[in-house]
Amino acid sequence: MSLFLSIEGGDGAGKSTQAELLMTRLKAAGVDALLVHEPGGTDLGEQVRRLVKGDVARSPMSELFLFEAARAQLVRDVIRPALDAGRVVITDRYADSSLAYQGYGRGLNLADVRALNHAATGGLMPDATVLLDIPPDVALARVDGSDGSGGRSDDPGQERFEQEPLEFHRRVAEGFQALASEEPGRWFVVDASAGPEGVAGKVWSIVSNLLTLHGISGND
């Protein structure tokens, strides 16, 4: 049996770290899992990633289409085949990021974003979504290193979204919270302000329950 899980959150929430820690635990438990991130995971997706993180001028709607193009390719070429093969798929961001960033953040009509999400994914939605919830000012301080962490130097093109005003990031965070409360059966909200190991423990307790619910055990 397959399981499709997305991890969502604002910039600096620690999604990528948590996705890696989760993969380590899944591997140790003998579960065959695949990790992907959006935008990315295909040739087209990686090119879109560079484009959207750079300074190329675009309208909110063009930006949405770029993310949807990357998503459509990733679903068709990678996510669908893995789920069809019965694997566990973890995605670092998915359709909800477009609702939060391009809908709530940029102000696009939510129904339009939902329609394009549906077209790009063929209606494939995650079985469960973990929201790493953290106040945007705390998260952004992590990213730029003003919290003493040294920030992130590995991804210089990162700044496009991180340079948006705090107000933008507040709208994104409120968007994620609104999405989570609309669909409490799918979303699991985790306080991501704690250290990475503490957050990883909470994520693992959610995911191990989901594995049991989906009848997945190690070495399946």
| In contact, 174 and 104? CB cutoff 8 Å | yes
- Give whichever of 29 and 52 is closer to ligand TYD, judged by the CB atom: 52
Does 133 participate in binding ligand TYD (rule CB under 6 A)? no
**37 touches 19 (CB < 8 A):** yes
At how many degrees (to 10) do helices 196-213 and 15-28 cross? 50
Nearest-10 crossing angle of helices 110-121, 60-74 = 20
Q: Which is nearer to ligand TYD, 10 or 211 (CB)?
A: 10
Per CB under 6 A, does 104 bind ligand TYD? no
Q: Is there binding between residue 11 and ligand TYD (CB under 6 A)?
A: yes
Q: Count CA atoms closer than 13 A to 160's CA, side-chain side.
A: 14
| Least distance to ligand TYD, CB of residue 53, Å | 6
117 binds ligand TYD (CB under 6 A): no
Report the alpha-carbon angle 2-97-61, nearest 5. Answer: 130
**Shortest reach from residue 34's CB to ligand TYD, in Å:** 17
The residue from 98, 121, 136, 203 that contacts ligand TYD (CB under 6 A) is 98
* Comparison of 3 and 99: residue with beta carbon closer to ligand TYD: 99
Q: How far apart are the first and last CA of the chain?
A: 9
Q: Is 107 left (phi over 0), alpha (psi -120 to 50) or beta?
A: left
Closest CB 93 distance from ligand TYD, rounded Å: 4
Q: Does 38 bind ligand TYD (CB under 6 A)?
A: yes
Residues that bind ligand TYD (CB under 6 A): 11, 15-16, 37-39, 52, 67, 93, 97-98, 101-102, 161
